[in-house]
Protein backbone atom coordinates (compact mmCIF):
# COMPACT_ATOMS: atom_id res chain seq x y z
CA UNK A 1 0.00 0.00 0.00
CA UNK A 2 0.89 3.66 -0.06
CA UNK A 3 3.38 4.91 2.50
CA UNK A 4 5.28 8.02 3.58
CA UNK A 5 8.71 8.06 5.19
CA UNK A 6 10.02 11.07 7.09
CA UNK A 7 13.35 11.74 8.70
CA UNK A 8 13.54 11.00 12.39
CA UNK A 9 13.48 13.86 14.85
CA UNK A 10 13.85 15.87 16.80
CA UNK A 11 15.54 18.42 14.60
CA UNK A 12 17.18 21.08 16.74
CA UNK A 13 18.17 24.38 15.16
CA UNK A 14 19.13 27.86 16.18
CA UNK A 15 16.99 30.77 15.05
CA UNK A 16 17.70 31.88 11.46
CA UNK A 17 19.19 28.51 10.50
CA UNK A 18 18.23 26.70 7.31
CA UNK A 19 15.73 23.87 7.64
CA UNK A 20 15.30 20.71 5.61
CA UNK A 21 12.96 17.90 6.60
CA UNK A 22 13.13 14.96 4.23
CA UNK A 23 10.05 13.14 3.02
CA UNK A 24 9.78 10.31 0.50
CA UNK A 25 6.74 8.39 -0.55
CA UNK A 26 5.61 5.18 -2.17
CA UNK A 27 2.35 5.24 -4.07
CA UNK A 28 0.58 3.79 -7.04
CA UNK A 29 -0.83 6.38 -9.37
CA UNK A 30 -0.33 10.09 -8.90
CA UNK A 31 -0.91 11.23 -5.33
CA UNK A 32 -1.25 14.75 -4.03
CA UNK A 33 1.33 15.65 -1.40
CA UNK A 34 0.93 17.73 1.74
CA UNK A 35 2.83 19.12 4.68
CA UNK A 36 0.82 19.60 7.86
CA UNK A 37 2.03 21.28 11.04
CA UNK A 38 0.94 20.53 14.59
CA UNK A 39 1.64 23.08 17.29
CA UNK A 40 1.68 21.85 20.90
CA UNK A 41 -1.73 20.71 22.11
CA UNK A 42 -3.45 21.53 18.84
CA UNK A 43 -4.81 19.78 15.79
CA UNK A 44 -3.18 19.76 12.39
CA UNK A 45 -3.00 22.73 10.08
CA UNK A 46 -2.23 22.51 6.41
CA UNK A 47 1.10 24.17 5.71
CA UNK A 48 1.39 23.61 1.95
CA UNK A 49 0.48 21.20 -0.80
CA UNK A 50 1.36 20.11 -4.34
CA UNK A 51 -0.92 18.18 -6.63
CA UNK A 52 1.30 17.16 -9.54
CA UNK A 53 4.92 16.57 -10.44
CA UNK A 54 7.21 19.62 -10.35
CA UNK A 55 4.62 21.68 -8.47
CA UNK A 56 6.09 23.79 -5.68
CA UNK A 57 3.97 24.43 -2.62
CA UNK A 58 4.84 27.41 -0.44
CA UNK A 59 3.51 29.16 2.63
CA UNK A 60 4.93 31.25 5.50
CA UNK A 61 8.45 30.94 4.07
CA UNK A 62 8.26 27.14 3.80
CA UNK A 63 8.61 25.42 0.43
CA UNK A 64 8.43 21.89 -0.93
CA UNK A 65 8.68 20.62 -4.50
CA UNK A 66 6.92 17.50 -5.78
CA UNK A 67 9.71 15.37 -7.27
CA UNK A 68 8.27 12.40 -9.09
CA UNK A 69 11.64 11.06 -10.24
CA UNK A 70 12.89 10.77 -6.66
CA UNK A 71 9.43 10.31 -5.07
CA UNK A 72 10.25 13.08 -2.63
CA UNK A 73 8.62 16.17 -1.12
CA UNK A 74 11.25 17.70 1.15
CA UNK A 75 10.26 20.65 3.31
CA UNK A 76 12.63 23.65 3.41
CA UNK A 77 12.79 27.06 5.02
CA UNK A 78 15.62 29.50 4.65
CA UNK A 79 15.50 31.03 8.12
CA UNK A 80 13.56 29.41 10.95
CA UNK A 81 12.03 31.22 13.89
CA UNK A 82 11.33 30.09 17.43
CA UNK A 83 7.63 30.16 16.53
CA UNK A 84 8.23 27.43 13.93
CA UNK A 85 8.80 24.90 16.70
CA UNK A 86 6.20 22.21 16.09
CA UNK A 87 5.73 18.73 14.66
CA UNK A 88 5.67 18.52 10.88
CA UNK A 89 3.85 15.75 9.04
CA UNK A 90 4.28 14.78 5.43
CA UNK A 91 1.24 13.14 3.89
CA UNK A 92 -0.16 11.91 0.60
CA UNK A 93 -3.67 11.57 -0.73
CA UNK A 94 -4.47 8.88 -3.21
CA UNK A 95 -6.85 11.04 -5.25
CA UNK A 96 -9.50 8.33 -5.35
CA UNK A 97 -12.10 10.90 -4.39
CA UNK A 98 -12.13 9.82 -0.76
CA UNK A 99 -9.09 11.96 0.10
CA UNK A 100 -7.81 9.52 2.61
CA UNK A 101 -4.48 10.73 3.90
CA UNK A 102 -1.46 8.56 4.57
CA UNK A 103 0.89 10.26 7.02
CA UNK A 104 4.51 9.97 7.89
CA UNK A 105 5.46 9.58 11.54
CA UNK A 106 6.10 13.29 11.98
CA UNK A 107 9.29 15.26 12.67
CA UNK A 108 9.58 17.45 15.72
CA UNK A 109 11.37 20.75 15.12
CA UNK A 110 12.86 22.65 18.05
CA UNK A 111 14.17 26.15 17.36
CA UNK A 112 16.16 27.92 20.04
CA UNK A 113 16.79 31.68 20.25
Partner 1 sequence: SQTIHQWPATLVQPVGSPLSLECTVEGTSNPNLYWYRQAAGRGLQLLFYSVGIGQISSEVPQNLSASRPQDRQFILSSKKLLLSDSGFYLCAWSTGVGNTEAFFGQGTRLTVV
List contacts with partner 1 (CB under 8 A). 32, 34, 36, 42-46, 49, 51, 89, 93, 95, 97-106
CB count within 10 Å of CB 41 equals 5
CB count within 10 Å of CB 104 equals 23
Q: Which is nearer to partner 1, 25 or 36 (CB)?
A: 36
- In whole angstroms, the minimum distance from the beta carbon of 10 to partner 1 comes to 12
Q: Which is nearer to partner 1, 43 or 113 (CB)?
A: 43
> Torsion angle of alpha carbons 1, 88, 78, 19, nearest 10°?
-80
- In whole angstroms, the minimum distance from the beta carbon of 41 to partner 1 comes to 8
Q: Which is nearer to partner 1, 10 or 78 (CB)?
A: 10
List Cβ neighbours of 101 (8 Å cut-off, separation of 6 or more).
Answer: 34, 91, 92, 93
- In whole angstroms, the minimum distance from the beta carbon of 3 to partner 1 comes to 10
Amino acid sequence: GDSVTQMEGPVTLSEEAFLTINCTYTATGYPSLFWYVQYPGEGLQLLLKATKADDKGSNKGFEATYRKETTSFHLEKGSVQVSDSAVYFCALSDNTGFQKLVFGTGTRLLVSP
